[in-house]
Amino acid sequence: MENNKFLALIRNGICDNWERPALTDYNGETYLYKDFAKKIAQLHILFDSLDVKKGDKIAICGKNSSNWVVAFFGSLTYGAVITTILHDFSGDSIHSLVNHSDTKVLFADEYVWSKINPVQMPALEAILLIDDFSAQKSRSAEFLESCSNPERAFNLKYPEGFSKEDVIVHDESPEELAVLNYTSGTTSNPKGVMIPYRSLWSNTRFAIDNIPFVKAGDGVVCMLPMAHMYGLAFEVLLSIAKGCHIHYLTRVPSPQIIMDAFSKVNPTIVLAVPLIIEKIIQMRVFPELKKQPVKTLVKIPFFKKKIYKKVADKLIPMFGNKLVEVIIGGAALNKEVGNFLTEIKFPYTVGYGMTECGPLITYEYWETYRAGSCGRPVDRMSVRIESPDTETEVGEIIVKGQNVMLGYYKNENATKYAINEAGWLRTGDLGVMDRDGFLYIKGRSKTMILSSSGQNIYPEEIEDLYNNSLYVSESLIIEENGKLIALIYPDKDYLKAHDVKEDDYSAIFVSEMKAINKRLPGFSQVVNFRLQNQEFEKTPKRSIKRFLYQK
C-alpha cells in the first residue's frame, strides 16, 4: 500500500512543494524542491553508469550540507542501501566501516577525503566528492564521462525537460534494509544498525501526525549530525516530507552562529542535545538568579512569578520569534535545568530514542510533558520495564514495534543478545514508568554501580549535581576499589573571570564535593576527585566515551 511507504512520503513532499526552497547551506546556495529532485535524478544517471544494483551499499561520510541530503535521498530513491558514517571518525575507522559494510560507492566531503586512503578500501567502485559530486576514483570510463559533464547526460535522458512526473522512487517493501547506520560508540566500538523501511516510515509518520505545527515553508535549522538518526529523522526526513526549508550549519556551530541562524530562520521547531540548552541556562540564567536582590526575591511567590516570566520573555526569543517547541534528545537533560525550564513555562520536551529504533521510542508535546520524564511511547511502539513494580523499582527498558531495527550487520551474536525471540529489544537503559505511561530514565545498565551495601548507584544523577556547579564544565563519576571518584574538568573561563588561580582549584573542589555529598545518600558519597586537564573525549553526538575512563 502506497500510504505506508516511506519513499512515497518523500516523493509527495518534493512534488507538493516544487517551487518552494528546500535546502540552504549557511550563507550559501539554496536548492528549491525542483532543484533537489533534479540533483537526485542526476545521481541516478551516475549510478546507472556504474551499474549500481538495487540493494548495493552506498556510503556517505561528510559534514552537514545540502549535497549530503542529495546523496542520501539519491541513493535511497534509486533502491540502494545508504550507509551513514560520522565524519568525526578517524581515517582508519572510516576505511574499516566502508569495508565492513561492503560499500560500492562512497560520498566523502573534502575534510574526509583529506584523511582517507582509497587503497585501504579495495572493493570501492567509485568515490565522489560531496562538495561538487566530482569523481575522485573510478574504474568506469562511462561514469567518469557522466561526472565530467552531468548536464549533457541529464539533457540526453530528459530532452523535454524535467517535471514532477519524472520523479521516480524505488518501490520499497517494509522489511527491506534502507539505512545501515554505524553507532557512535559511547560504551563500545561502532556497530552497523540495520534500519528497514518500515522504521523510516513509522518514525516519519509519527512526526507528521504528532508535530502538526511544523508546516510547509517553515524554516528549520539543522545543527545535529545527519549521520546520527536523531538529527536525520526530525531535521531532515520530517522536514522534506512536510516541505520545510532546511538551513545547514556547515561549520562547527558555535553558540553565536546558532543564535544568528535562529534569528534569521525563525524555526517553529528546534532539535537540540542537552549540552546546548544546559550551557545557556547554567552560564547565562542561573548566575543572574543567584545575585542579590533577585536571590531573595525569588523566595517570595509573587516576585518569583514576575522574575520567571521576565526570564522566559528573554529566553524564548533567543530561538527566533516563531518557536513552538524545543525537543531535547540524544542524552539525559540535567534535572535542575529541566525543572527550572518547566517552572518558567519554557516550551521544551525531552524525547527518548536510540539508533536501533530509528530513533523514536517516547515523546510528548511540551504542554502535556512531565518534567523529569522523556514522554510516553510513540505510535506503533510498546515499552516495558523489567522489574516487579514498574512504578517504583528500576528495571531495564525493553521495547518492541515497527521502529525496531532488523539487527546488527554481520553480527548475529550481538543481534541475538539485543533482540529476544519475541522481538523485544533490550535498550541497556534503566528506568521506571508511571501509571500514565510516562517513562523516567535512571541511567544505563552498563554504567550502574552496585554499592558494597547492595544499593544501585546511577552515576548520571551524581554528575547532574556536579555539572550544576559554576566551577564545573563537565564531570564523570567512576568507581575505584569500591569507592566513588569524581573526574572533573573545571570551567577554566569562569574561574579565570573570577580571579581564581589554579593553585586554589583544589580547595574550591574540596568544598564543592562536601556540599554535593550533603545532598547525596550515604551509599553514594564521593570520596575523592581528580581534575582533568582537558575535555573528556566524546562521541560526535557529544556523549562522553565512558569506557575510556572507567579502569
Report, in angstroms and rounded to the nearest whole number, the Rg of the chain calculated over CA atoms: 24
- What is the model's pLDDT at position 1? 42
Residue 214 grid coordinates: 511544523
Diameter over CA atoms, the chain: 78
Helix (H, G, I), strand (E, B) or coil at 159: coil
Mean pLDDT computed over 227-247: 94
Residue 183, pLDDT > 80, answer no
**CA distances from residue 264 to 28, 232, 324, 394 in whole angstroms, order as listed:** 14, 22, 16, 44
Amino acid found at 443: G
Query: What do you get for the CA distance between the two ends of the chain, in Å?
Result: 53
Q: Place 186 in a pLDDT band, splitting at 50, 70 and 90.
A: very low
Backbone angles phi, psi at 194, to 5 degrees: -90, 105
Please enumerate in sequence order all residues whose Cβ is within 8 A of that of 240, keeping only pairs 6 or more positions apart, or say none: 10, 13, 14, 22, 69, 73, 246
| Sign of the alpha-carbon dihedral angle for 105, 108, 110, 115 | negative
Contacts of 364 (CB under 8 A, 6+ apart): 349, 370, 373, 375, 376, 438
Dihedral Cα 303, 309, 311, 317, nearest 10 deg: -170
pLDDT digits (tens, 9 = 90+) for 499-544: 989 889 999 999 999 999 988 877 889 999 999 999 998 876 677 8
pLDDT in tens, 106-125: 999 999 999 999 999 999 99
Residue 166 scores a pLDDT above 60:
yes
Q: 392 near 440, Cβ under 8 Å?
A: no
**Model-level pTM?**
0.84
Within a 10 A sphere around the Cβ of 421, how many other Cβ atoms? 6
Q: pLDDT, tens digit, for every residue of 371-412?
A: 999 999 999 999 999 999 999 998 999 999 999 999 999 999
* Edge-first strand listing for the sheet containing 439-444: 381-386, 395-401, 425-433, 439-444
CA torsion 191-197-198-203 (nearest 10°) is: 80
Q: What letter does residue 266 receive in the DSSP assignment?
A: -
Those residues whose C-beta lies under 8 Å from the C-beta of residue 149, and which sit 6 or more positions away, are none
Mean pLDDT score across all residues of the chain = 91
* pLDDT confidence of residue 13: 97
Kindly indicate the confidence band of residue 86, based on its pLDDT and cuts at 50, 70 and 90.
confident
Of 53-57, 217-221, 442-446, which range is least confident? 442-446
Categorize the per-residue pLDDT at 428 as very low, low, confident or very high, splitting at 50, 70 and 90: confident
What is the distance between the alpha carbons of residues 501 and 503, in angstroms, rounded to a whole number? 5
Percent of the chain at pLDDT above 90? 69
Is residue 507 within 8 Å of residue 191, measured between CB atoms? no
Beta strands in 232-336 (DSSP E): 245-248, 269-272, 325-328
CA dihedral 129, 133, 139, 144 (to 10 degrees): -140
Query: How far apart, in whole angstroms, are the C-alpha atoms of residue 45 and residue 146?
Result: 8
Closest CA to 61 of 223, 225, 194, 191: 225
How far apart are alpha carbons 339 and 328 in whole angstroms? 14
> Which residues contact residue 266 at a Cβ distance below 8 angstroms, ignoring those fewer than 6 apart?
219, 320, 321, 322, 323
Is residue 266 packed enough to be buried (19+ CB in 10 Å), middle (13-18) or exposed (0-12)? middle
Contacts of 480 (CB under 8 A, 6+ apart): 551
Contact 218/240 with Cβ under 8 angstroms?
no
